[in-house]
Amino acid sequence: MKRSSSLHSPTFSPLYRQIKELIMGNLESGEWGPGDPIPSESELASRFGVSQGTVRKAIDEMAAENLLVRQQGKGTFVATHKDPGSAFRFLRLVPNDGVLRVSRSIPLECWRAKAGPDVARTLALEPGAPITIVRRLLKLGDEPVVFDEIYLSSELFPDLSLEVLGTGESLYGLFEARYGVCMVRADERLRAVSADRVSADLLQVAEGSPLLLVERVTFTFGQRPVEWRRGFYSTRNHHYRNQLG
Amino acid sequence: MKRSSSLHSPTFSPLYRQIKELIMGNLESGEWGPGDPIPSESELASRFGVSQGTVRKAIDEMAAENLLVRQQGKGTFVATHKDPGSAFRFLRLVPNDGVLRVSRSIPLECWRAKAGPDVARTLALEPGAPITIVRRLLKLGDEPVVFDEIYLSSELFPDLSLEVLGTGESLYGLFEARYGVCMVRADERLRAVSADRVSADLLQVAEGSPLLLVERVTFTFGQRPVEWRRGFYSTRNHHYRNQLG
DNA sequence: TATCTTATGTCTTATATATGATATTTATAA
DNA sequence: TTATAAATATCATATATAAGACATAAGATA
pLDDT, one tens digit per residue, over B103-142 is: 899 999 999 999 999 999 999 999 999 999 999 999 999 9
Tell me: the pLDDT tens digits for B81-107? 887 777 788 999 999 999 989 889 999
Q: Which positions of strand D lie within 7 Å of protein CB atoms?
A: 9-17, 20-24
What was the ipTM of the complex prediction?
0.88
Q: Is pLDDT above 50 for B13?
A: yes
What residues in A contact B243, CB-CB < 8 Å?
185-188
pLDDT at site B10: 46
Closest CA in chain A for residue B195: A210
Closest CA in chain B for residue A90: B244
The closest alpha carbon to A235, from A212, A213, A217, belongs to A212
Strand C atom within 7 Å of A54 CB: no
Provide the CA A104 distance to its chain's centre, in angstroms: 18
How far apart, in whole angstroms, are the C-alpha atoms of residue A146 and residue A230? 10
Inter-helix orientation angle A41-48/A52-64, to 10°: 120
Low-confidence residues in chain A, pLDDT < 70? 1-12, 167-168
Residue B114, number of CB atoms within 10 A of its CB: 14
pLDDT at site B167: 64
Q: Look at B9 and B149; give whichever has higher pLDDT.
A: B149
Question: Domain residues of chain B, as ranges?
Answer: 15-78, 84-240
Interatomic distance A74 CA / D27 C1' (Å): 21
pLDDT at site A29: 87
pLDDT at site A218: 98
Strand C atom within 7 Å of A36 CB: no
What residues in A contact B90, CB-CB < 8 Å?
244
Interatomic distance A51 CA / D16 C1' (Å): 9
CA dihedral B202, B159, B185, B92 (to 10 degrees): 20
Closest CA in chain B for residue A193: B210
Interatomic distance A36 CA / C10 C1' (Å): 15
pLDDT at site B11: 55
Q: Which of A225-239, B55-69, B207-221 has the lowest mean pLDDT?
A: B55-69
Strand C atom within 7 Å of A167 CB: no
Strand C atom within 7 Å of A2 CB: no
Q: Which positions of strand C lie within 7 Å of protein CB atoms?
A: 9-17, 20-24
pLDDT at site A12: 67
> Mutating which of A66, A191, A221, A241 best tests the B interface, going by the most B Cβ atoms within 10 A?
A191
Instruction: Write out the H or E segment, with its range, that includes residue A77.
Output: strand A75-78
Strand C atom within 7 Å of B52 CB: yes
Contact residues, chain B to chain A, C-beta under 8 Å: 64-66, 89-90, 92, 185-194, 209-213, 215-216, 233, 235, 239-245
Size of interface A-B (CB pairs under 8 A): 100
Q: What is B201-219 written as a DSSP string?
A: HHHT--TT-EEEEEEEEEE
Inter-helix orientation angle B52-64/B41-48, to 10°: 120
Q: Mean pLDDT across the stretch B139-152?
A: 96
Cross-chain Cβ contact B185/A92 below 8 Å: no
Interatomic distance A117 CA / D21 C1' (Å): 55
Cross-chain Cβ contact B194/A210 below 8 Å: yes
Interatomic distance A7 CA / C20 C1' (Å): 9
How far apart, in whole angstroms, are the C-alpha atoms of residue B211 and residue B196? 10
pLDDT at site B71: 87
Interatomic distance A116 CA / C6 C1' (Å): 65
Strand C atom within 7 Å of B69 CB: no
Cross-chain Cβ contact B188/A64 below 8 Å: no
Q: Is pLDDT above 50 for B4?
A: no
Residues 6+ apart with CB under 8 A from A239: A93, A94, A96, B189, B190, B191, B215
CATH architecture observed for domain A15-78: Orthogonal Bundle (1.10)
Q: Which residue is nearest to nucleotide C9 (CA to C1')?
A: A73
Nearest chain A CA: its distance from B65 CA (Å)? 6
pLDDT at site A11: 57
Specify whether domain B84-240 bears CATH 3.40.50.300: no
Alpha helices in chain A (DSSP H): 15-28, 41-48, 52-64, 117-123, 162-165, 171-179, 197-203
pLDDT at site A73: 82
Share of chain B above pLDDT 70, in %: 94
